[in-house]
Amino acid sequence: MMSRGVNTGMKARTLTRHARESLKSISRNGWMTFASVSAVTVTLILVGVFFVIMMNLNRVAQTIEGDVEIRVHIDVAANKQDQENLKKQIETLSEVKSITFSSKKQELNNLIKSLGTEGKAFKLFEQDNPLNDVYVVKTKNPTDTMKAASKIEKMNYVSKVMYGQGQVEKLFKFIKASRNVGFVLIIGLLFTAVFLISNTIKITIIARRREIKIMRLVGATNNFIRWPFLLEGLWLGILGAILPIILITIAYSNAYDYLAPKLKGNFIQILPVDPFMYQISGILILMGAVIGVFGSVMSVRKFLKF
């Protein structure tokens, strides 16, 4: 028990020493530290902005995708049994998630409501309704909408199929392209920050090469030598994340206060500040730490045969 306590105390002292050494190194390498922290700061500001845009775009995309539906207009010649058979056929499709029946009376009422005061003129058609009964179909995956619509169109007693043809395809292409472009830009920025931190740690190792050789001669292990550099990278990454978190939180809070009231009642909604900004802050701190440690690992591996 006593031996375990002594070992724990030694590990704590060693870790404290490593932390102290890493902080000293940061203060010694003034301009390189500033350059590295600035690189991480600029990178994480851009990454944070991209994340905010992409996550809000993703929410809007999910809302729009959730509203995509196939409206199957049933042939007026179809009787109740024909309608039921058509429903069973549609339900057999693997892409279909749900199917809801909307009578022509409901369709007329919806049309009148959607047109507001101008819709009153359509009340004349209540006695002789020209509209079709409709099956409203939703797919499991919104991108399967076109495929399912194509299959339904060929079925008996289907008058026409509507799903925003042309616009839906463009929407899905735009969403996919936006996500891909955002992902590539974020990866490129992260690699830039890793490269700059790697160079900072590299310069620190070169400057202390003689000291490292002496430490090896007196029996210091690679792990013992390595830890201060890894911690230095960690501090650089975390320091670089502080300013982006502050700036992005202030900017997004102001943007939300301005836009939220204007978008109220609209199908496009942006993510609320709480908990969204806490999530973004956590992501940026984590990314800063990972960038810093990874940059250190890249340098230490070369110089200490990591």
Per-residue pLDDT of the chain (306 residues; tens, 9 = 90+): 444 543 555 466 666 766 676 666 666 666 767 777 787 788 888 888 888 888 887 777 777 766 778 888 888 888 889 888 888 888 888 888 888 888 878 776 766 676 666 555 555 555 566 778 888 888 888 778 888 888 888 888 888 888 776 666 677 777 778 778 777 877 887 777 677 666 766 666 666 667 667 767 777 677 777 777 778 778 888 888 899 999 999 999 998 888 878 777 666 678 888 888 898 899 889 888 887 787 777 766 666 654
By CB atoms closer than 10 A (0-12, 13-18, 19+), residue 228 is: buried
Distance, CA of 91 to CA of 29 (rounded, Å): 68
Q: Do 58 and 135 touch, CB atoms closer than 8 A?
A: no
pLDDT of residue 303: 63
Taking the model in full, what pTM does it have?
Answer: 0.62
Tokens standing for residue 133 = 């009964």
Structure token pair of residue 119: 């819709």
Could you count the other beta carbons within 10 Å of the beta carbon of residue 223?
Answer: 10
> What distance, in Å, lies between the first and last C-alpha atoms of the chain?
34
69-162 belongs to which CATH class?
A: alpha beta
Question: What does the domain layout of the chain look like in residue ranges?
Answer: 14-64+170-304, 69-162
Confidence at residue 169, expressed as pLDDT on a 0 to 100 scale: 66
Taken in order 115, 117, 118, 123, the sign of the CA dihedral is positive
Q: What's the pLDDT score for residue 201?
A: 63
Query: Tell me, what's the pLDDT at 25?
Result: 64
Instruction: Indicate the DSSP class of residue 219.
Output: T
Per-residue confidence (pLDDT) for residue 5, from 0 to 100: 46
CB 240 within 8 Å of CB 288? yes
Distance of CA 160 to the CA centre of its chain: 37
Whole-number pLDDT of residue 248: 92
